């Protein structure tokens, strides 16, 4: 090839790269990048309006605020991957928290046993709703809407005439009140960065051994560097206030663990298959109903865990637990962050990034002392925009023949 031809080819390739990036952004392949850009913009706007927004204290409080919502959103992500919806997660979280509080405070149960019982209640509810949906063909919207009403009534029944129960056990309140020292934080950071680097190298070596194309050294270095920078930056912020919060570690552990399940196990692949095309999955030998029941069981379990975390942070359970805008935020977060409402596309990481986006908007508007009416309208507008982007991305993929 002549020098001129080579130069032309390189020019065309350089021109194609921005166009390819834009195309992938539109089609939803780079949803995480889109969310990070949006999050950076949101943070810049609120920092400009109030210089306390990016303070270590406020960012730490922001992470504590989103812990419960993020945990509930993990289960919501699994349901969304099926192309279904669960409107009962807020009520289930409140009921599970009430069960824990009653068993611990009124009946003197060990806090860990009370927590385990609350999680079991959430799981049982999820399995029940998944069974009704899959076995009788009732739309998940209807089943979980009925559950929303029923579990709110159960919450009132469990709480009884008092209507509110204060939590005093340090093992329960400590879930959101525990902070680790700077030294422990650095040890954790080194362990996380080192483990991630080891996993990157192991994955690269396995691909090369299997005769597959491995990622370039530059790309591996970029991924490793990004995780290291984010980890160290987060640690510096936490250490500037009270230390690394246990609640954040719990949230991250569940996000990483559930992401591994959905992306690296046969169960996770079956979830994507059922969400993409249930009939094709059935013909491929996948137990579609079993997957659906299991996914709703996961949603109920994560709702219970999120409810426990919310109760721990508020030191109490009352008739409004699991209510207000919790359901909206738990579902809106993953959708805003890129998990498709149409099923078959998404990531558990969207539970975290979506909660960050929603939480940042709410936190920033609180700092600006905006009214609840404005907060609801802004959050609703952001959700509608995310759904429109998802629909446009789906249409673009359909036109190009991609799933």
CB 65 within 8 A of CB 251: no
Which among 168-172, 196-200, 214-218, 220-224 has the top mean pLDDT?
Answer: 168-172
CB 324 within 8 A of CB 69: no
CB 380 within 8 A of CB 7: no
For strands 316-318 and 164-166, give the pairing. Answer: antiparallel
Which among 6-10, 49-53, 116-120 has the top mean pLDDT?
Answer: 116-120
Helix, strand, or coil (residue 165):
strand
CA within 13 Å, CB half, 113: 8
Give mean pLDDT, residues 140-168: 92
**C-alpha separations of 39 from 28, 188, 220 in Å:** 17, 25, 24
* Phi, psi of 180, deg, nearest 5: -95, 150
- What CA–CA distance (Å, rounded) separates 98 from 158? 7
- What CA–CA distance (Å, rounded) separates 355 from 337? 9
Q: Read off the pLDDT band of 1 (50, 70, 90).
A: very low
Question: From the DSSP assignment, how many helices (H) and strands (E) are in the chain?
Answer: 16, 4
Give mean pLDDT, residues 106-135: 96
- What CA–CA distance (Å, rounded) separates 82 from 297? 13
**Model pLDDT, residue 11:** 42
Could you tell me how many residues make up the chain?
403
- In the predicted structure, residue 7 carries a pLDDT above the cut 50: no
**CA 170, 176, 179, 185: dihedral to nearest 10 degrees?**
130
Q: Read off the pLDDT band of 17 (50, 70, 90).
A: low
**Model pLDDT, residue 160:** 86
Question: pTM to 2 decimals?
Answer: 0.89
**Model pLDDT, residue 384:** 82
Q: Read off the pLDDT band of 13 (50, 70, 90).
A: very low
Q: Where are the beta strands (DSSP E) in 24-116?
A: none
- In the predicted structure, residue 95 carries a pLDDT above the cut 70: yes
Return all residues near 2 (Cβ < 8 A) that are at least 6 apart: none
**Model pLDDT, residue 394:** 67
Which tens digit of pLDDT belongs to each residue from 343-363?
Answer: 888 899 999 999 999 899 989
**Model pLDDT, residue 14:** 41
- What CA–CA distance (Å, rounded) separates 309 from 322? 11
**Model pLDDT, residue 375:** 80
**Model pLDDT, residue 61:** 95
- Candidate from 51-60, 106-115, 338-347, 379-388 with smallest mean pLDDT: 379-388
- What CA–CA distance (Å, rounded) separates 83 from 390? 13
């Amino acid at each position: 090839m002549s020098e001129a031809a080579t130069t032309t080819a390189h020019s065309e390739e350089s021109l194609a790269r921005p166009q390819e990036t834009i195309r992938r952004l539109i089609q939803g392949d780079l949803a995480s990048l889109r969310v990070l850009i949006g999050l950076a913009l949101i943070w810049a706007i609120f920092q400009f309006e109030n210089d306390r927004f990016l303070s270590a204290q406020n960012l730490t409080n922001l992470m504590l605020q989103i812990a419960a919502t993020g945990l509930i959103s993990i289960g919501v992500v699994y349901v969304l991957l099926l192309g279904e919806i669960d409107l009962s997660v807020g009520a289930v979280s409140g009921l599970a928290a009430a069960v824990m509080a009653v068993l611990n405070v009124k009946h003197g149960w060990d806090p860990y046993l009370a927590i385990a019982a609350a999680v079991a209640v959430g799981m049982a509810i999820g399995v029940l709703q998944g069974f009704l949906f899959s076995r009788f063909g009732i739309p998940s919207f209807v089943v979980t809407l009925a559950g929303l009403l029923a579990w709110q009534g159960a919450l009132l029944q469990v709480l009884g005439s008092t209507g509110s129960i204060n939590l005093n056990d340090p093992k329960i309140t400590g879930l959101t009140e525990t902070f680790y020292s700077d030294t422990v934080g650095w040890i954790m950071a080194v362990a996380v960065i080192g483990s991630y680097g080891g996993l990157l190298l192991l994955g690269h070596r396995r691909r090369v051994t299997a005769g597959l194309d491995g990622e370039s050294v530059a790309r591996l270095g970029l991924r490793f560097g990004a995780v290291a920078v984010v980890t160290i930056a987060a640690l510096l912020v936490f250490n500037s206030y009270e230390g690394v919060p246990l609640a954040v570690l719990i949230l991250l552990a569940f996000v990483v663990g559930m992401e591994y399940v959905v992306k690296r196990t046969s169960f996770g692949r079956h979830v994507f298959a059922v969400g993409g095309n249930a009939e094709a999955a059935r013909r491929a030998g996948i137990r579609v109903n079993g997957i659906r029941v299991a996914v709703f069981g996961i949603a109920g379990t994560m709702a219970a865990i999120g409810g426990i975390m919310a109760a721990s942070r508020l030191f109490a359970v009352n008739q409004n637990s699991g209510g207000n805008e919790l359901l909206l935020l738990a579902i809106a977060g993953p959708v805003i962050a890129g998990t498709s409402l149409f099923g078959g596309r998404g990531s558990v990481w969207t539970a975290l990034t979506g909660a960050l986006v929603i939480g940042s908007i709410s936190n920033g508007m609180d700092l600006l002392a905006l009214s609840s009416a404005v907060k609801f309208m802004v959050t609703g507008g952001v959700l509608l925009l995310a759904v429109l982007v998802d629909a446009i991305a789906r249409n673009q993929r359909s036109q190009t023949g991609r799933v």
